[in-house]
Amino acid sequence: MTIDDNTKTVVYTPQEISALTLKEIEERRKTSGQGVTFGLSEIDRVMLPFRPGELISVIGLTSQYKSGLMMFLARNAIKNITDNQVVVYCTWEQAIEEHALMELANVTKIDASQIARGKIDDEQFKQLKGAAVRRAANPLWLVGHSIQNRKKRPNLTIDDVARGMMLIENEWGYRPALIVIDYLQRVQSAAGGSDRRVEQMRIVDRCKDMALAMGCPVLLGAQAKQEVINRGWKLPGEYDAAETANVAHASDKILSVWLPHRTEPKGAMIGNPLVEVTENLLIINLAKQKFGPAPQYFYEYVVPERNEITQLARLP
């Protein structure tokens, strides 16, 4: 049996282990408080920042705001990056233009549904054009498919995304500070891949590998299994990703989301402490957290049309 250079790079002596661990601890001392944070103080007091090499998963049922939460986190991550860093959002969920439409809605405070219908007057269009100019200088890169360039629609696998990250670093000279994969069950299988469950396990593993290889956190969206909808408390847990338990095993952190007004009567009182079900109630579960407390539940106020999340005022 021959030993190649790749084998040598994954075997560490006790002396190397100690030296590398102390170097990592020293690096964490220097960068204490850094990393990608949620952006809401009540959550950031409990949740450790997203660090390089971490896989963070977001689990939710259909139309329960998992993509919205990931967009919110991606936008917040931009606030603390350096000049040579970018945030990369990879989407199979919507077109590039639809994603950016939500960004412009957030900036202009014009509802995305109004923009999507084309019900925009001249003054609003002027505001949107100004926001688009500012968007052009925003270090949020997108990977996906375009409505305007619809004839250019190559197969997009997780391996293609990994190659795209290397292209961003080697061709343009930027390092990803956060990579978002939206979302697991929509990622296309590699040609000649095995059955879907095995392929999804591989995709989760590749996302974790990408976090380590690129030296940044990877945020992975995952559909919740349908049995969650039959529960009284419909906030997914650590093991509730559809089709694969590998999300629970491979993730360093897991967040899950629930928009109760989509499943419960408006005005109903749910939770502990009790909170009223409204169109703006978003419940978030920090279901798993390596080195930190979990599960932890948070009630937040969301405006989906503008991708805004703020702390919900507690009941007396």
The average pLDDT across 26-35 equals 74
Pick the range with the lowest mean pLDDT from 136-150, 191-205, 242-256, 300-314.
191-205
pLDDT number for residue 62: 93
Regarding predicted confidence, which is higher, 283 or 146?
283
For residues 69 and 266, is the Cβ–Cβ distance under 8 A? no
Dist CA 219 CA 221 (whole Å):
7
CA-angle at 152, arms to 187 and 125, nearest 5°:
95
- Whether the predicted pLDDT of 192 surpasses 60: no
In sequence order, the 6+-apart residues with CB closer than 8 A to the CB of 73 are 36, 38, 39, 178, 180, 219
- Whether the predicted pLDDT of 315 surpasses 60: no
Question: How many H-runs (helices) and E-runs (strands) does the chain carry?
Answer: 10, 11
pLDDT number for residue 149: 79
Classified as helix, coil or strand, 282 is strand
pLDDT number for residue 83: 87
> Domains in the chain, ordered, with CATH?
35-259+282-300 (3.40.50.300)
pLDDT number for residue 63: 93
pLDDT number for residue 316: 40
Q: Give the closest residue to 56 by CA, choosing from 176, 196, 182.
A: 182
For a pLDDT cut of 90, what percent of the chain falls above it? 68
Classified as helix, coil or strand, 25 is helix
In sequence order, the 6+-apart residues with CB closer than 8 A to the CB of 300 are 40, 281, 282, 283, 284, 309, 310, 311, 312
Regarding predicted confidence, which is higher, 105 or 193?
105
Dist CA 258 CA 300 (whole Å):
10
Q: How confident is the model at residue 225 (pLDDT cuts 50, 70, 90)?
A: very high
Which H helix or E strand runs over 284? strand 281-289
For residues 75 and 307, is the Cβ–Cβ distance under 8 A? yes
